[in-house]
Amino acid sequence: MTGLPREKNLKKIGIFCFDISDHIYDEHFPGNPVVPGSVIVSAFLRAGEESGFCAGLVRDFRFKGFVAPGEHAFSIEYAGDQMKCRLFQGNTDTTKILVTGTIER
C-alpha cells in the first residue's frame, strides 16, 4: 500500500456508529452509557488505515463533551504527515464538535 500523497490536503467525512448493544456500555457507565475515548481514537485509526494512512503517533486528543452511543459524524483532514480528526454531536450537526485530535505518521 503506497498511502496518501503527502503534498495534498485531502478530506474524509463519514459516520461512526457506536452500537449501544456493545457490552462495553454495561460498565461504562451503567444507566448513562458513554463511548470510551480509546474506542473513539480506534475508530479514527481504522478510518485512516482504510485511506492508506499508516499511523505512528496519536497526539492532542481533546474531549469537549461526553459521546453517547449512536451515530456521530466525523471528518478527517489529511495534511502532509498528519490526520486532523473531528467528531461531531450526532450524525447531522457538524457545528458541535465533541472531539478533536491529531494522528501522525
**CATH code for position 56:** 3.10.129.10
How many whole angstroms separate alpha carbon 51 and alpha carbon 47? 7
Q: How many CA atoms lie within 13 A of 76 on its CB side?
A: 26
Instruction: Reply yes or no on whether the pLDDT at 92 is more than 60.
Output: yes
State the cell numbers at 30: 451503567
| Owning domain of residue 33 | 9-104
Number of domains in the chain: 1
In a domain, 2, yes or no: no
**82 within 8 A of 57, measured Cβ to Cβ:** no
In a domain, 68, yes or no: yes
How many whole angstroms separate alpha carbon 88 and alpha carbon 14? 11
Q: What is the pLDDT of residues 45-78, one digit of tens each?
A: 999 999 999 999 999 999 999 999 999 999 999 9
β-bridge pairing 9-18 and 70-79: antiparallel
